Amino acid sequence: MVAVASTEQIGCQDDYAGYNLRLPTIQSHLFTVPESVPENDLVNATATAPTASIDPSPLRANTSDTVQQTVAAMATAVKTYALVYGGEVLMGVFGYANVAQATAELADLSEVLVEQWMTPLSQLQPLGPCLAWPLALSALYPEQLYLSVVDQAHHWLGLLAPDGFYTLPRFAAAATDQAELTACHYSVALFQQQQERLALALKGAQMGTWDWDLSQGTIVISDEQERLLGLAPGEFGGTYETLFTHVHQEDQATVQQALQQAIQLGQRYGIEFRVLHNDGNTRWLSSRGQVFKDSEQTSRLAGVTLDISEQKRVEAEIKLQSQRERLVAKIAQRIRRVLDLDSILAQTVTSVQEFIEADRVIVVQCEADMSGQVIQEACSSSYLPMLGWAMRDPWSVGEKFLAHYRAGRGLAVENIYTQNLPASQLEFLEYFQIQAEIVVPLLQDQTLWGLLIAHQCQAPRTWRMADVRLLQNLATQVGIAIQQAKMHQELTLANQRLQRMAYLDGLTQVANRRRLEQYLDQEWRRMSRENGSIALIMADIDCFKGYNDLYGHQAGDVCLRLVARILTRAAKRPGDLVARYGGEEFVIVLPNTYLEGAETVAEDIRLMIRSHRIPHEESVVARVVTLSLGVASAQPASDGSSADLIKQADEALYMAKNEGRDQVRVASPKRSH
């Protein structure tokens, strides 16, 4: 018995499938329609009458199965039919009508094969005209060439294939409408399902949509778009004026300009802007869209909006990280070029203050007793300076924290008033208006050398981990600078010692002859440039051989050292130089000194030596040590050379000795030609 259907003409919406279909009103005399439709039936939500659907799990039988086996499988699966396959090829369809036919002909159901009583695929009747295969069905059933169409009671109606719908000849009239309806409703349901999935995807991606009808001036936005723009439910009035109410004041002109330009030129737009939400948060949004023309008179501007706040945060963090790395590299490069530790510390505190926007940054140098003193500072003019102060900050000199710093670890204090500090420590912090701080150690060879400290004075501050890492990285570089400065200082002292050894007479500790010649040449050239005068005094201890013979060479050495000290006291100016010329002879170089002045100095030296009354029983002059001195002077700009000056002083000394010793003789001035 076949269901009798009366039909009325309807049409599916063009947006869905584009079919012009017949909706059947079926009064079935074969079965009862169930009260509920299986969950896999996507069509039931849109149908108002009994409809057909795709069976997602048709029963599969093999041509080698007996009829009895197939019927048992149908009963177990609660199916009214089975698709019969020969290997992987569909051969036909087997239903209870086929069972009835085999029974009527007294076939042994336990022996006969199902392929003998099935309806072969070739006997199914195609419907005309050919029904288009919905594309969505291919996506849902990619592995099935033939789809079984069943009614709501899951009775088999036919097979839906890419080239049409096939059914039994006796079902053709009713099945045609059922199959057409199945395709249309599947398209409708799948479209609705895709819309729901798209809406969920947009919401999950925090992406809103909006559609502006430019001819009508109305705007339709999604719930997510409303939320993204910071609008409260119901706040958006459907107009342009209320759409961008919460856009940041600095970005409103940019947004309006981009949209108006897109409308005027009919082009795409892409903008990024900030929105101020009612909770005080600022969110970054990215909006993209374009103008669409439905007709010559009708156009609309549609687009999507995405929350890019996290992207902006990451971009800002990357930018800050890059700036931090450049700052550390800059200081590291300076450390390699500059050996002046004070200069490096000054640049460090200034750079840190500017970069992390701290109110004060200081360097505290720790003493042996772990007391601390501020040796460098960069401070805002609004707050008291701390340079030169001894630190009583609990996080700077507290013993438990010093152990923390010696291990190379720093700390960050966000609010001093949450630290349960004693009143005396709070008083110190409040005096300098310190409300938050970062402290990192400065280590030299794993020893605590000092502390790098950043202060926030205006208010408590939640320090970012990036700020702490920056100070730690800079502290590492400063530690290198401290070590480098120490090595440079040690090297400088070593060089000075070597220089003294190279330029000093080992016995008397005055300049040696090498230093004398170098210094005399240097001052000769300087006086030549300045058109100045330079004088030279050459002194010799009288009868010194007899002194050594009588008192011994050790006593002679003591005498030489004593004379050298007296000469050094007599050479009072910083530029005057006393040198041992050889044996018991000494030379005093007097830059910017004329002959008369040098003669006075020589006479003072002679008297100073006599006044010390160093015993000398073998002297033919007196019973004490005496000096004979020769004085010469020259104008380097016009008078010969430094060698000539030494020769003149030596000649004057010879005259002093030759004329009785213990006296000063002056060389005759050299005449200019």
The residues annotated as belonging to the active site are 584
Cis peptide before 129, with omega less than 30 degrees from 0? yes
Alpha carbon of 114 to those of 68, 74, 98, 102, 557: distances in Å? 8, 12, 9, 10, 136
Closest by CA position to 95, among listed 41, 33, 158, 145: 158
Residue 581 DSSP symbol: E
Closest by CA position to 456, among listed 513, 490, 417, 484: 417
**Residue 538 β-bridge partners:** 587, 630
User: Using an 8 Å Cβ cutoff, are 206 and 224 in contact?
Assistant: yes
Q: In what order do the strands lie in the sheet with 156-161?
A: 53-54, 147-150, 156-161, 164-167, 125-126
Closest by CA position to 174, among listed 22, 36, 44: 22
Query: What is the rounded (10 degree) CA torsion for 74, 77, 82, 88?
Result: -130
Q: Cα(26)–Cα(51) distance, rounded to whole angstroms?
A: 9
User: Using an 8 Å Cβ cutoff, are 246 and 281 in contact?
Assistant: no
Give the residue carrying structure tokens 């002859």.
Answer: 513
User: Using an 8 Å Cβ cutoff, are 653 and 665 in contact?
Assistant: yes
Query: What is the rounded (10 degree) CA torsion for 28, 30, 33, 38?
Result: -120
User: Using an 8 Å Cβ cutoff, are 491 and 510 in contact?
Assistant: no
Say how many C-beta atoms besides its own lie within 10 A of residue 608's C-beta.
Answer: 15
User: Using an 8 Å Cβ cutoff, are 189 and 43 in contact?
Assistant: yes
Burial 535-572 (b: 16+ CB within 10 A, else e): bbbbbbbbbbeebbeebeeeebeebbeebbebbbebbe
Say how many C-beta atoms besides its own lie within 10 A of residue 495's C-beta.
Answer: 10
